[in-house]
Structure 1
Amino acid sequence: MKRMITPSADSISYFQRHKNVVSSKANTVKGEPNLIKQNLQSLESAIEARYSAFESSLSSGNLFNLAQDPILAEHKDDLLSCYTGRTAKVKEIFSSIEDVQPANFLRRCPYCGITLPKTYDHYLPESLYPELSVHALNLIPCCNSCNQTKNNFWKNDNHRLFLHFYMDIIPDIQYLNVRLVSDINLCAVGAIFSISRAPNIPNNVWDVLSMHYIKLNLIKIYNELANNEISEVFNVCISHLRGGGIDVGRFINILLSSDEQLYGINHWRVVLMKALSRSDDFERAVRASV
Structure 2
Amino acid sequence: MIPSISNAQQTTDLLNLYSYSNSIISKLKIKLTTSEFNRVENTCQNCTIGEVSSFDHFLPKDEFPEFSVHPKNLIPSCSKCNGKKSVNWRNGLNSLFLNLYLDNLPDTQYLFVNVDHNLDFTFIIDNRNHIDLDLFSVIESHYIKLDLVNRFLENSNKVVSELSNTINSFKNKLPRAEIIDSVIETESSNRVLYGSNYWQSILKLTLVNNAVFMNNFYT
Place the TM-score, normalised by the shorter chain, in its bin. Answer: 0.7 to 0.9
The correspondence for 1:279, drawn from 202, 210, 218, is 210
Q: 3-state SS of the aligned residue for 2:52?
A: coil
**8 Å contact kept, 2:5–2:11:** no
What's the TM-score once normalised by structure 1's chain length?
Answer: 0.68
CA separation in 1, counterparts of 2:188 and 2:132? 28
How far 1:96 sits from its partner (Å)? 4.1
How far 1:215 sits from its partner (Å)? 0.3
The correspondence for 1:241, drawn from 154, 157, 171, is 171
Q: Which is further off, 117-126 or 71-80?
A: 71-80
Greater relative contact order structure (CA < 8 Å, 6+ sep): 1
Q: Structure 2 unaligned runs (5+)?
A: none
**8 Å contact kept, 2:52–2:76:** yes
1:127 correspondence with 2:62: yes
**8 Å contact kept, 2:110–2:127:** yes
Q: Structure 1 unaligned runs (5+)?
A: 1-65, 184-188
Equivalences for 1:133-212 in 2 at 5 Å? 133-183=68-118, 189-198=119-128, 200-212=130-142
Q: Which is further off, 72-81 or 124-133?
A: 72-81
What's the TM-score once normalised by structure 2's chain length?
Answer: 0.88
Q: How many residues align?
A: 217
How far 1:219 sits from its partner (Å)? 1.1
1:266 correspondence with 2:201: no
Q: Deviations over 1:48-82 (max 9, x none)?
A: xxxxxxxxxxxxxxxxxx11124155533321221
Partner of 1:112: 47
How far 1:105 sits from its partner (Å)? 7.2
CA separation in 2, counterparts of 1:239 and 1:80? 54
CA separation in 1, counterparts of 2:165 and 2:213? 12
How far 1:196 sits from its partner (Å)? 1.0
**Greater helix share, structure number:** 1
What is the RMSD computed on CA atoms of the aligned residues?
2.2
CA separation in 1, counterparts of 2:25 and 2:42? 21
In the alignment, residue 245 of structure 1 is paired with which amino acid? L
Q: 3-state SS of the aligned residue for 2:96?
A: coil
Q: Name the larger-Rg structure.
A: 1
